[in-house]
Chain A
Amino acid sequence: MSATVQTLEAMERPPVTMSSRLEGELLEVSMGPQHPSTHGVFRMNVTLDGEIVRKLKPVFGYLHRNHEQIGEQTTYLGSMPYTDRLDYFCSMSNNWAYALSVEKLAGIEVPERAEYLRVILAELTRLQNHASLLGFLLSDMGAWGTPLMYAFREREKILDLFESLAGSRMMCDYMRFGGCRVDADDNWLAGARKIVDRFPKFLDEFEELILGNEIVIARTQNVGKLSADLAISAGITGPMLRACGVNYDVRKVDGYGFYPRFKFRIPLGEHGDTYDRLMMRALEMRESVEILKQALAQIQPGAIVNPKAKIRAFRPPVGEAYGRIEAPKGELGFYLISDGGPNPYRYRVRPPSFINLTVLEDLCLGHTVADVMVILGSVDIVMGEVDR
């Protein structure tokens, strides 16, 4: 009886040559979660053929804390400060979406001045979100620092306004069911007018700096094209949808708040590529400035909270409601089911940036790794909202 020991040397292996490594071998790369361009802890499993992306699977959940279950275990008002942490760039619009849904659920009216304040704060949020997004996107393309600092300079002015009104720069916790928490005095409104009046000057400067730039055009035009049919089917919302030429803005369609009272236009893209998505933000900021000018001119003194809205022992009647607003990143919705108790039976957030990532693979296929970062930057995600 003899036993043979098979060693590694005895096994037949194909000879390794340079050509067999280079031709047609796919390489799997895990991009993230610590990559600086993934805007938080987000990972993509990318299959590469040389430098070309052949497959891309996003991996979520690094920031998952089961926000929805925590919302079911606290009272309705107790969830309000926690909505700030969803999309931590736009806490004011998160507050508004949640307040709007609860007002639908319980049938609460909102006084006029509170609606104006909500519009003003939501549009200021849109300004600072879009400005800093453009800065981050330029950073992703390799323009380190300068455009981002220009954008953050303007963002700081708006955050100072938030701080003087709500007491906090980013975690504002400002809206209440049936109104707002504190009133804005005349000094605050004068300060807001000053910032809004100066904002177009910044936009002129910023657009001149970046949007005509040869490198920006080379990196973004015809990169990450999205067709209108796919965008509608995949539930894409916000500037990303309008860059494909689909005219759908919740501010116009639902007419919530006092948006029907203001004159503004919806900018639409033509090609659906990264450059259009970038331009969409720049054009939307101009329209936001128009809305802000009208709102700041029309606002009248009055009550800021509905006196009939209960704060203690708030129990909405049995039923369910879905409310949505046009947040800077897309359609932000809250779906609530009440069983008559002090906390919701079901509390659901419809996060726009999570659903906008559905088409990330379709956008990136056939492009290089360097383009993936630019495309992801133009989708505009915040991981606090994606993972919840």
Chain B
Amino acid sequence: MESLEQIKARAEAAIPGAKIDIVPNLGPANQPSLLIDNEHAPAIAKFLRDDPTLRLDFCSNVTGVDWLDRVTKKTVKVKKVVEGEEKEVNEPIEERIPGYLEAVYHLFSMAHKHGPITIRMRTRDRGEGARLPSLTPVWRSAEFQEREIFDLYGIRFDGHPDLRRILMWDEFEDHPMRKDYVQPDDFEWEPTPHDDVLARAKQHYAPRPAEQELRPS
């Protein structure tokens, strides 16, 4: 099979404006992946599926990954005027890397029996910008798995035919696979009473004036 560099070069030549980066994998498994840009993702996916030498017609695994905001510390040499003299001083700086959500697709070829090729897409941020183009029109097997990512990670897939919650119930509000998900205090009575339900519950259990008078002192 071709190397990832060759695939990247051919795909970028075939689709004008497409941008593909290679994400290295340092572990012993040595499965590096292709980071494809969101705008051209369906076109790149179609290219990977239909190209006669690749024929990645089998999208095996689709999943999400949550990467939180990170702060990395670096030391940088800075020129400073110390006591009237210009000196080079090591100064620690903090670099803030904003968090994002990631969708990872593992592709194989049933025609040529090779693989896996891993492609991934990243969202702009973890809030409102958590949107990605859906690849379900290219590979049908992504249908339920993208719904699962939407359910558990909260990535909205534009162009998905039927984007609903799949494992959690429809009224559930949070996304339980996110790294900053907080579990409810009380599993027994989930969803816990809140707002008007809580107000009614308090009213119900509040001691009534007549009862207070009847109580022996």
Contacts and interface: CB of A to CB of B under 8 A. Distances in A.
User: Is the A/B pair a real complex?
Assistant: yes
Interface of A: 60-61, 64, 66, 68-69, 104-107, 230, 232-237, 246, 248, 253, 316-322, 324, 331, 333, 335, 337-338, 345-346, 348, 350, 354-355, 357-359, 387-388
Given A66-B177, A69-B176, A246-B110, A320 B31 contact: yes
Summarize A's interface: helix, strand, loop or mixed. mixed
A248 B110 contact: yes
Contacts of B140: 230, 233-235, 358-359
Contacts of B100: none
B104 A335 contact: yes
Contacts of A358: 140-141, 143-144
A319 B110 contact: no
B199 interface: no
A295 B193 CA distance: 59
Given A322-B118, A355-B144, A350 B60 contact: yes
Interface stretch (B6-14, B90-98, B165-173): B165-173
Given A317-B27, A319-B26, A350-B61, 4 more contacts: A61-B166, A106-B27, A318-B26, A345-B65
A388 B27 CA distance: 27
Contacts of B106: 322, 333, 335, 350
Interface of B: 25-29, 31, 57-61, 63, 65, 104, 106, 110, 113, 116, 118, 139-141, 143-145, 152, 166-169, 176-177
Contacts of A354: 144
15 contacts: A61-B166, A104-B28, A230-B140, A232-B57, A232-B58, A232-B110, A233-B141, A235-B59, A235-B60, A235-B140, A236-B141, A319-B26, A354-B144, A358-B141, A358-B143
Nearest to A338: B27
A105 B27 contact: yes
A350 B169 CA distance: 21
